[in-house]
Copies of this chain bind each other. A is one copy, B any other.
Amino acid sequence: MKEVRVLEIKQSVFADNDKQAADLRQELKQKGIFLLNLMSSPGAGKTTTLMRTIEAMRDTFKIGVMEADIDSDVDARTIQKSGAKVIQLHTGGMCHLDAEMTRQGLDGLKVEDVELAILENVGNLVCPAEFDTGASKNVMILSVPEGHDKPLKYPLMFSICDVVLINKIDVLPYFDFDMDKCREYILMRNPNAKIIPICAKTGEGISEWTKWLAEEVKSWRAAE
C-alpha cells in the first residue's frame, strides 16, 4: 500500500477566523470546489460514513479527503482504500480546525482537480463548532449509542449543522434511544436541520444522504 501523506498543520496566527473563513469559502467557490466539514464525537462513525459516501459519489465527482487527528494515520489509511485522494492532518494537539488550518490542509491535498473536498474534523462536539472552517456546508454525525439527549448538552454543534446523520441505527434494539425525542431536540436547536438516520456499516439511509450532498455540490458549482 502506498504510504499515507501526513501533514503537520499549525494553529492560525490570524485573530479574525470569521474573515479567514469567508475568504476561503469565496476562493473555493471561484475554483468550483465544494468543501464539506464533517464533525462528530470520537467513534460516531465519520470514517465509515465517508467510505460509503465516496463509494456512492466517486463516479460523479472528483473527491479529496482531509483526515484531521491529533495523532495516528489509521483513518487516512482506511480512506486510501476507497481510491479517493487523501491526506492525514495532524493538529499538534489542537481540538479543532480553524479556517487557516483548513487552508493548509487543502494546499497539502492539492485540491486543484478536486470537486468535492471533505474535511473529517477532530472527534469533538464542542470546539469544532466554534470555528468556521470555510466549509460550504457543515454536517455532523450523532450515533445511537451516544444517546438522544446530546442536542440538549451540546447546543452549538447542533445549531450550526445543515445535516445531522443519526448513525448506527442497526443497534437501536440494544440501546435506550428515542428517535422521536432526538428529532425534537435537534429541531429545537436548529429548526432547519435535515435529519437522516443511517447505518454506515450496512449502507442503510446512505442514498438519501448522498442524494442531498450531490444536489448541494452541483448547485454550489453551478453558481460559481
Nearest CB in chain B to that of A91: its residue: B126
Stretch at the interface among A153-161, A204-212, A213-221: A153-161
Q: A32-85: which have CB < 8 Å to B? A: 41-43, 69-72, 74-75
Residue from A74, A125, A168, A171 having most chain B Cβ neighbours under 10 A: A125
Number of copies: 2
Q: How many residues of A contact B (CB 8 A)?
A: 34
Complex formed: what's the CA distance from A124 to B123 in Å? 8
B-side contacts of A123, CB under 8 Å? 41, 125, 153-154
Complex formed: what's the CA distance from A122 to B150 in Å? 12
Residue pair A74, B42 in contact (C-beta under 8 Å): no
Complex formed: what's the CA distance from A150 to B154 in Å? 21
A147 touches B (CB below 8 Å): yes
Residue pair A149, B74 in contact (C-beta under 8 Å): yes
What would 14 A/B residue contacts be, using CB atoms closer than 8 Å?
A: A41-B41, A41-B146, A42-B125, A43-B146, A70-B154, A70-B156, A72-B153, A74-B152, A124-B126, A124-B127, A127-B127, A145-B168, A145-B171, A171-B175
